[in-house]
């Protein structure tokens, strides 16, 4: 993991990490800081609902060799951020540990949604361990890991990566854990509506592999009107943020982070996070895949796979308005039929 990060940093400092603006989502370049850095520790966030989401619903994808789960008290094998990615010593979080490769979010008792490019293979996901409780519960104090914190992968039940035949650009994977999570964990509800520019968003994930960070000052920059595959947003995230949960103002899951702009710029022989304005070129914007795309894929293959499928357009009529077509004619037909039936039953 450390070697991969150092190699990527070397490319970033040469103003790359691959390709020209508008690359396919498979390039999975990561976002940067928009304006001020709004990332906060879980314990620092003022909203209890978001703290609870970070603790009970969000998890880190960590290389298996970096997790010692054999003892009664599991441990992570970490290194300081400054050492792992070459950050300047005075950069925020430079002395915090690095462990995660990607982020994920719990969508059912044994199902995790993440970005597809986080998995090294289309068929397997056993090179990663799925870890809850990777966050600071107090200043300089990480939450203790238990056996309940650590899960492995049984299989991949849904996956789409890259440009699809119909032109949609997708980057999601649904992973089945080796066992259902404990009752202390909370699967999140998935929103099926399409977002509008300017809407407030919150992201929770593990930027640079750090312990979980919450950014509740994100917003929709571009909704790609008429399409339901992805949207652009401003949020402060980095490598390791891929797969981070994106929540709307009602704390429903709307997407997972998939790609973005260049992370760093050289400074004094080390790297500092690149800071841009939201009005900059769209090539610097972060993009996320709609969570509804993953849900529809999951439910189309097997409607009994998840309790979430009862709300999916693939499996049942949605109660949330959708640009894919609201069944207004059907609702009108039911209403008219009901009136005629009541009229026949009560002619007076």
Identify the CATH number of the domain in which residue 200 sits: 2.40.10.120
Is pLDDT of 175 > 90? yes
Model pLDDT, residue 2: 40
Lowest-confidence range among 19-33, 35-49, 243-257?
19-33
Note the pLDDT of residue 208. Answer: 86
Q: What is the C-alpha separation between 288 and 75, in angstroms, rounded? A: 31
Structure tokens that stand for 287 in this block? 């993009």
Q: Is residue 321 part of a domain?
A: no
Return the pLDDT at 262.
Answer: 52
pLDDT of residue 282: 47
Model confidence band, residue 270 (pLDDT cutoffs 50, 70, 90): confident
Residue 324 lies in a domain: no
DSSP state of 87: B
Which pLDDT value is given to residue 237?
Answer: 60
Is residue 140's pLDDT more than 60?
A: yes
Report yes or no: 221 and 278 within 8 Å, Cβ to Cβ: yes
66 vs 68: CA distance, rounded Å: 7
**pLDDT attached to residue 44:** 94
How does the average pLDDT of the chain come out, rounded?
77
Task: State how far the Cα of 166 lies from the Cα of 324, in Å rounded to an integer.
Answer: 15
For residue 317, pLDDT beyond 70: no
Q: Based on the structure, what is the number of domains in the chain?
A: 1
Determine, yes or no, domain membership for 347: no
Question: Does 155 map to a domain?
Answer: yes
Per-residue confidence (pLDDT) for residue 235, from 0 to 100: 74
CA distances from 213 to 63, 93, 267 (A): 19, 11, 24
Cα(242)–Cα(208) distance, rounded to whole angstroms?
Answer: 10
**pLDDT band at 84, cuts 50/70/90?**
low
Interior CA angle at 197 toward 196 and 202, to 5°? 85
Least confident of 90-99, 242-251, 294-303: 90-99
Q: Which domain holds residue 92?
A: 2-311
Distance CA 250, CA 221 (A): 18
Residue 17 has pLDDT above 50, yes or no: no
The pLDDT > 70 percentage for the chain reads 67
Task: Quote the pLDDT of residue 333.
Answer: 40
Residue 335, in any domain of the structure: no
For residue 264, the model assigns a pLDDT of 56
Give me the residues paired with residue 222 across strands.
Answer: 232
| Global pTM value | 0.76
> Do 94 and 112 meet the contact criterion of CB atoms below 8 Å apart?
no
β-bridge pairing 275-276 and 33-34: parallel
Specify if 339 maps to a domain.
no
Give me the sign of the Cα torsion angle 90, 92, 97, 98. negative
Region for 136 from its dihedrals, namely left if φ exceeds 0, alpha if ψ lies in -120 to 50, beta otherwise: beta
The answer to whether residue 88 scores a pLDDT higher than 90 is no
Decide: 246 and 113 in contact? Cβ < 8 Å. Answer: no
Question: Which residues lie closer than 8 Å to 43 by C-beta, 6 or more apart?
Answer: 51, 135, 136, 137, 138, 139
Residue 266 burial by Cβ neighbours in a 10 Å radius (0-12, 13-18, 19+) = middle
What's the pLDDT tens digit per position in 231-268?
A: 988 876 667 688 999 999 999 999 999 876 555 555 66
Is residue 149 classed as helix, strand or coil in its secondary structure?
A: helix
**322-338: b or e for each residue (b if 16 or more CB lie within 10 Å)?**
eeeeeeeeeeeeeeeee
Higher pLDDT, 24 or 173: 173
3-state secondary structure of 161: strand
Give me 137's structure tokens: 């519960």
> Residue 316 domain-assigned?
no
- Domain assignment of residue 327, yes or no: no
How confident is the model over 73-102, as a mean pLDDT?
Answer: 80
């Amino acid at each position: 993991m450390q070697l991969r990060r150092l190699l990527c940093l070397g490319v970033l400092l040469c103003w790359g990490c691959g390709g020209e603006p508008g690359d396919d989502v498979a390039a999975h370049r990561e976002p940067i800081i928009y304006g001020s850095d709004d990332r906060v520790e879980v314990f620092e966030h003022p909203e209890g609902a978001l703290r609870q989401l970070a603790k009970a619903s969000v998890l880190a994808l960590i290389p298996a060799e970096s997790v010692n789960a054999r003892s009664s008290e599991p441990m992570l094998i970490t290194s300081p951020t400054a050492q792992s990615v070459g950050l300047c010593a005075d950069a925020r979080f430079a002395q915090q540990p690095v462990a995660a490769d990607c982020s994920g979010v719990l969508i059912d008792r044994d199902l995790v949604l993440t970005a597809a490019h986080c998995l090294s293979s289309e068929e397997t996901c056993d090179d990663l361990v799925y870890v809850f409780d990777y966050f600071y519960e107090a200043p300089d104090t990480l939450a203790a890991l238990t056996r309940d914190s650590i899960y492995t992968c049984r299989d991949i039940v849904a996956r789409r990566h890259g440009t699809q035949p119909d032109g949609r650009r997708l980057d999601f994977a649904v992973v089945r854990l080796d066992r259902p999570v404990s009752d202390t964990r909370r699967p999140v509800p998935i929103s099926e509506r399409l977002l509008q520019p300017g809407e407030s968003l919150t992201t929770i994930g593990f930027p640079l592999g750090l312990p979980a960070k919450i950014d509740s000052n994100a917003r929709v920059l571009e909704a790609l009107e008429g399409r339901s595959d992805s949207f652009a947003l401003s949020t402060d995230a980095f490598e390791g943020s891929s797969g981070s949960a994106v929540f709307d103002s009602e704390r429903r899951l709307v997407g997972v982070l998939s790609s973005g702009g260049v992370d760093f710029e050289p400074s004094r022989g080390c790297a500092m996070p690149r800071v841009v304005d939201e009005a900059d070129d769209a090539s610097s914007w972060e993009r996320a895949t709609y969570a509804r795309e993953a849900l529809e894929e999951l439910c189309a293959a097997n409607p009994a796979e998840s309790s979430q499928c009862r709300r999916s357009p693939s499996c049942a009529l949605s109660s949330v308005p959708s640009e894919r077509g609201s069944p207004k004619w059907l609702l009108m037909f039911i209403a008219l039929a009901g009136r005629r039936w009541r009229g026949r039953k009560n002619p007076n």
